[in-house]
Structure 1
């Protein structure tokens, strides 16, 4: 038996939270092991940890020990489709929310965007309030829920051509009438909702789910057990278990590494040489940081850089290689103050780490500046010791009076 826990969060704190424990060996609703609900979000937080299975082979086991798939109310989520040419690069991913700006009634900064699927020159996005994401996460954390996947509840309804599937949860009706078309309305507005949808799609037929158990989640369980959709992206992406386990030891490991380096260097250099070297490195590091993050004041460089590296979630050795590459390319960057770096991403392209790439999203006033930068970069490499590095420019596009592009610097760093 492979049990799976499904939780459905409400739209408001005073509404019920439903749960369903089912077997993923088959998709039949008869495989429901146990189900229940809590009257409000407060009851859910207070009682979740003590809730146990009361029958079957898992009788007595707490549901809190199981990883849950979380369903969020479709009434708080909207789906959008955008045309997308080419690859989904980081620069393109960052531009998608702004392409929807005119369709949204809220500021882009107040919304969370999750890419559910991209292909066939289209990207399908889910949009919801950052405040809703924070509220749901607060409920789950306070209750002690283990979850790595959130999905809109209506997207777990079965989908059929020219069919609108309806499911009643309390006084709310959720609907799915296409692969990427969902809706939710109160039961009193169902007739108006159906009439409006029928005008847009005359061939559409409506069918309301008939439940054979006490839980409305039984119809959603088959799709929820196999879905790859996930709203937890970007800042809401869950940290890896290894990262969480190693985090308490990070400060100790960092201090031990610094102490070892200082003792080694001190055996070779005298105090005066150390002071000169430290001052030189500090100045170079400050210059690199200000070049990469213009406008940010350097207060505690080491702490600020650790935060930036942690955000990139790169291994320790990759971080060192990244800094080495940055140190080599900074002299060229300094000769182009008009070229502003907005963000960067570093990756290792093979197992032995012999080839890395640094992707810098930059902004300038025209296309020619990117070309002159590449020519100067290649010129510096040909007369220097960094012939193993190459540069390419990708995803150039103009927005208003600004031109953005991706500088891709690749090669081996020793």
Structure 2
């Protein structure tokens, strides 16, 4: 979102309430206004649509402090911070909601606010359909300077910020007391103050510098910038809004899109591989069946894969070795195949193998006598060849017979 609705509440429910819409694009308020009391929150309904809403609660209704963890404890700050602050609070800790603004190994900055007040405030906006995304003490929305930062609100109330996470609300009559207090000192040195509202007449101590900013800026303009920039939020624990998938969709949709695209690519590639393998398997199966029926013409069907494997293995065993003569029939056929390769003018008619006599008779056809002579020479490289009578048939085909021995 590029626009935020900032609402500055007053300690009195019937007092005027300031509001503004801060534009992230323009880095300034694009519209602001004022209405009287909580009962007129409904006026914000039209401005809250499609915008994040931040409430600035009065600093007089909160307690800001730094809490130091005892050396002896191993428990986290969130479990014991309320007990560590108990002596400094005028209200029962069970009635307060505590939020850690910032912490380190030694302790942390903590804010306490009345549970009932915060609950009622959120309930009023919920009834109007307005979702609150941030609640912040108004003093923490002030800009950070090297020293203290101050501004005067309605009436005689001032808010003064110290550092990034501390601040107070004080009336004009008490400013002089503050000037002389240790709260505005760091060690023995006074902390300088920059006010965005003209300061009243005060008596300062030596080397104490309180000055009014030369820059003129409205209260809401100043607080709106700080409210957007700070990460502090009192909506913690039981008040923390539930995570919404759709509210974070704009942040994560590109990541989800890349993940989904990657998964889709993997699935597509996997499916293509399966289809390719299935096609190859079908091709191999078809070729295996063709060879099976060609080699075993007395078989007319294949019942299952086991039957197929058993029949092929039986034929291989039958033709492989004659145990009595120690003859490998397949070796003879392999050698014959070598001799017949690239003999496109030779047609093999039949083969007869006699294991007892250890010889093979082949009958071939050819277009001419020269091709048969070349075949005889080629066979001589693998076998002892005896050529039978050659004769030409009536259709000019030459018939030849060869007796092969090892």
TM-score between both structures, scaled by the size of structure 2: 0.50
Q: Within the alignment, does 1:231 sit opposite 2:228 as a pair?
A: no
Q: Within the alignment, does 1:167 sit opposite 2:151 as a pair?
A: yes
| Cα distance, 1:70–1:199 mapped onto 2, change above 3 Å | closer
| Cα distance, 1:10–1:138 mapped onto 2, change above 3 Å | farther
| Cα distance, 1:17–1:199 mapped onto 2, change above 3 Å | closer
Computing the radius of gyration over CA atoms, which structure comes out larger, 1 or 2? 2
Cα distance in 1 for partners of 2:191, 2:91 equals 31
Cα distance in 2 for partners of 1:196, 1:41 equals 36
What secondary structure does 1:145 align onto?
coil
In the alignment, what sits opposite 2:3? 3
In the alignment, what sits opposite 1:207? 194
RMSD: 2.9
Unaligned 5+ residue runs, structure 1?
A: 51-61, 245-414
> Quick check: 2:103–2:109 contact (8 Å CA) kept in 1?
yes
* Aligned mate of 1:108, from 93, 107, 110: 93
In the alignment, what sits opposite 2:222? 219
CA deviations 1:182-222 (Å, max 9, x no partner) are 00012333333333357745422222215746x51211222
CA shift, 1:170, in A, is 0.6
Cα distance in 1 for partners of 2:75, 2:142 equals 31
CA shift, 1:79, in A, is 1.3
What secondary structure does 2:112 align onto?
strand
Q: Within the alignment, does 1:134 sit opposite 2:119 as a pair?
A: yes
| Cα distance, 1:92–1:33 mapped onto 2, change above 3 Å | closer
Unaligned 5+ residue runs, structure 2?
A: 198-214, 248-406
Cα distance in 1 for partners of 2:14, 2:68 equals 39
* Aligned mate of 1:179, from 164, 167, 186: 164
> Quick check: 1:74–1:184 contact (8 Å CA) kept in 2?
yes
CA shift, 1:223, in A, is 2.4
Give the 5 Å matches for 1:386-397. none
CA deviations 1:224-251 (Å, max 9, x no partner) are 222221101111111233599xxxxxxx
In the alignment, what sits opposite 1:49? 45
In the alignment, what sits opposite 2:32? 35
CA shift, 1:89, in A, is 8.8
| Cα distance, 1:139–1:164 mapped onto 2, change above 3 Å | same
In the alignment, what sits opposite 2:180? 195
In the alignment, what sits opposite 2:141? 156
What secondary structure does 2:229 align onto?
coil
CA shift, 1:83, in A, is 2.3
What secondary structure does 1:221 align onto?
helix
Size of the aligned set, in residue pairs, is 226
Cα distance in 2 for partners of 1:147, 1:70 equals 7
> Quick check: 1:166–1:206 contact (8 Å CA) kept in 2?
yes
> Quick check: 1:9–1:136 contact (8 Å CA) kept in 2?
no
What secondary structure does 1:100 align onto?
helix
In the alignment, what sits opposite 1:82? 67
TM-score between both structures, scaled by the size of structure 1: 0.49
What secondary structure does 1:159 align onto?
coil
CA deviations 1:25-58 (Å, max 9, x no partner) are 364xxx3211111121112x232224xxxxxxxx
> Quick check: 1:66–1:146 contact (8 Å CA) kept in 2?
no
Cα distance in 2 for partners of 1:97, 1:187 equals 31
What secondary structure does 1:220 align onto?
helix
CA deviations 1:342-381 (Å, max 9, x no partner) are xxxxxxxxxxxxxxxxxxxxxxxxxxxxxxxxxxxxxxxx
Cα distance in 1 for partners of 2:184, 2:80 equals 34
> Quick check: 1:64–1:146 contact (8 Å CA) kept in 2?
no
In the alignment, what sits opposite 1:73? 58
> Quick check: 2:100–2:109 contact (8 Å CA) kept in 1?
yes
What secondary structure does 1:175 align onto?
strand
What secondary structure does 1:112 align onto?
strand
What secondary structure does 1:241 align onto?
coil
